[in-house]
Structure 1
């Protein structure tokens, strides 16, 4: 009985891998699905057959090109079916709530955002998110009854056993189960994950890491976190807190971090910390957008601070890369567009990682910017409703 249920869970996971890839890439041949998921040809053929039978996937009349320009007959493509209704993605950050309503293949129909300090009052933030989902549905010409699933990201690790937030990073959310709470407000199935994990999924499916199977996504914003993908699948760890790069201790006598520990990397490189370092040297209000503009214009002070931050992040990443040997590190979040920061990460990885590890690794800025987490939340909803 146990073996049978384990095999079925594995098939469910593999089906989600296929539907997630089809949602991101559009119609694909079975051979492309083999390459994109890392599954065997036999497994892909069997799972695609299941998905066609269940109506989740259809075989298209269009044909693709033979792989690598071969001269054989072009293969038939398969695609997600396009049933009615839609899904929603909810991106909750420390200072914002963003919502998107999309169709079942990921095309965004309506979107809205609000600035909000969510850390101290989880219930109020979830109330606001539920109102925004309903409003976006009206903008998309849909009702709550047309909504099949909601994907949500939160800026804190979720305990895999209880689906709740158990750390002090979000003090007003302690012991809350975000998915259960939003489900109670909307009456729709809600699936939650942390922001770095969903950013990793988005960049893997639609962004800078397309085609990779092993990657680390680093979100540098009001906090610092990492999403890890191994073998094309998210690695969450035993209790769901894998990737907490920002809480690597780098100074035993350093500042107290919001997690409760002292001297965490996040206390040195988060956006608020970098803004505080730069403000005394500038006679103008500084924001993340402004320091990115100054970085792009070649401002020496901004470039030095961002480069130093990148090197500090890269030093911690080098140890992680030595253990995981990823193909790519994607630098995302509100500061992910900084060339100086990304170059600093690259320099430190080159300096501190094993030479072969560093040589096999690309360090690139994210392609989706601060939309990565919202795109990932939509993709999560699609993947959950498509199996």
Structure 2
């Protein structure tokens, strides 16, 4: 068995590869290149192959297998990708094509699942509750994604969509979502959704950090936007806790930097919880932008 395990984070703008030491989980080699997705699916595959070759030369050996974090999921029924915002991947048998191109077995998981897996084994969960059985990892940025880890392993589900929290309807008559529904969580508490809500109230455009800053200065529309975030976050997270009852919830992405979520979010969750008190830990991630590629590698450790 090789001393190393390999992961690739396949993003819309960049592809990143990490080679990890099996002995101590340290990153030995880490490289990234532009995805160049505008040139099509076959070109993206060749970019992945080029990146693997670059890392293989640096580490002195070719991988035995590779884990991939992907912007979407592999449908277990059809064997092709779905729900990818990098649309050239949709409808493609990505795992089979990668295995054929690279000549080694591959394993795929949604990027939010990789985030949750890395934070469980290498990040904040290891620090705050190393014996956690169930971890829910949230990425609240431009959109909203999430992943579930149970007993140290990614939960995929019957349709491959376990953890697709962002596309539960939170507001029945809410804003349209790209998925075809209205009022999805992603349209309400994503960074983009919060900025749109503020713009509608204030008739001016601010970034989320600017909205938070204005809220701290007492601006009423900004305060309303942040309060709404906390209340909607509390309702949506309580539903998850009522169903899978995780030990730890890790909140990543730009929205996860809003300190009010940690100060007031737990009380907002408790109001909707089927339990008198909240014992689930709500924490920030520890790995930053390393989580995706490290989690991808852990798929094949």
Q: Does residue 1:367 correspond to 2:300, yes or no?
A: no
- 1:193-243 Cα deviation digits (max 9, x unpaired): 011211111111111222111221111123212212334443222121111
1:270 alignment partner in structure 2: 190
Matched residue of 1:259: which SS?
coil
1:261 is the counterpart of 2:181? yes
Change (3 A) 1:250 1:278: closer
Aligned to 2:89: 173
- Pick the aligned partner of 1:154 from 70, 84, 102: 70
Residue 294 of structure 1, CA deviation = 6.5
- Quick one: distance in 2 between partners of 1:303 and 1:89? 41
Tell me which residue corresponds to 1:136: 55
Q: Deviation of residue 278 (structure 1)? A: 6.0
Among 251, 256, 260, the alignment partner of 1:336 is 256
Contact 1:314 1:346 (8 Å CA) reproduced? yes
Q: Comparing both chains, which one has the higher relative contact order based on Cα–Cα distances under 8 Å and sequence gaps of 6 or more?
A: 2
Partner of 1:99: 17
1:272–1:204 CA distance, 2 compared to 1 (3 A): same
Comparing 313-322 and 226-235, the one that deviates more: 226-235
In 1, the alpha carbon distance for the partners of 2:39 and 2:146 equals: 23
SS at match of 2:192: helix
> What does the per-residue CA deviation read over 1:321-350, in whole Å, with 9 as the maximum and x for residues that have no partner?
112222121112343333234445423212
1:82-131: CA deviations, max 9, x gaps?
x44x3321112344332212333432122233455759944443332332
What is the TM-score with the length of structure 2 in the denominator?
0.81
Q: Does structure 2 retain, via aligned residues, the 8 Å contact 1:314–1:344?
A: no
Is 1:192 aligned to residue 118 of structure 2?
A: no
Aligned to 2:138: 218
> Which residue pairs with 2:28 in the alignment?
109
Q: Separation in 1 of the partners of 2:204 and 2:181?
A: 34
Matched residues in 1 for 2:41 and 2:237: separation? 31
d(CA) in 2 for partners of 1:270 and 1:125?
28
Distance 1:337 1:200, change over 3 A: same
Task: Indicate the larger mover: 163-172 or 115-124.
Answer: 115-124
Aligned to 2:228: 308
User: What SS is found at the alignment partner of 1:99?
Assistant: strand
Checking the alignment, whether the CA contact within 8 Å between 1:216 and 1:326 is kept in structure 2 is: yes
**Higher-Rg member (1/2):** 1
User: Structure 1 pair 371/322, CA: closer, same or farther in 2 (3 Å)?
Assistant: same
Q: Show structure 1 runs of 5+ residues with no match.
A: 1-55, 57-82, 383-387
Q: Does 1:227 align with 2:227?
A: no
TM-score, structure 1 as length reference: 0.65
CA distance in 2, matches of 1:190, 1:348: 41
Conservation of the 8 A alpha-carbon contact between 1:307 and 1:341: no
CA RMSD of aligned residues (A): 3.4
> What are structure 2's unaligned runs of at least 5 residues?
none
Change over 3 Å in CA distance of 1:312–1:177 after alignment to 2: farther
Which residue is equivalent to 1:203? 119
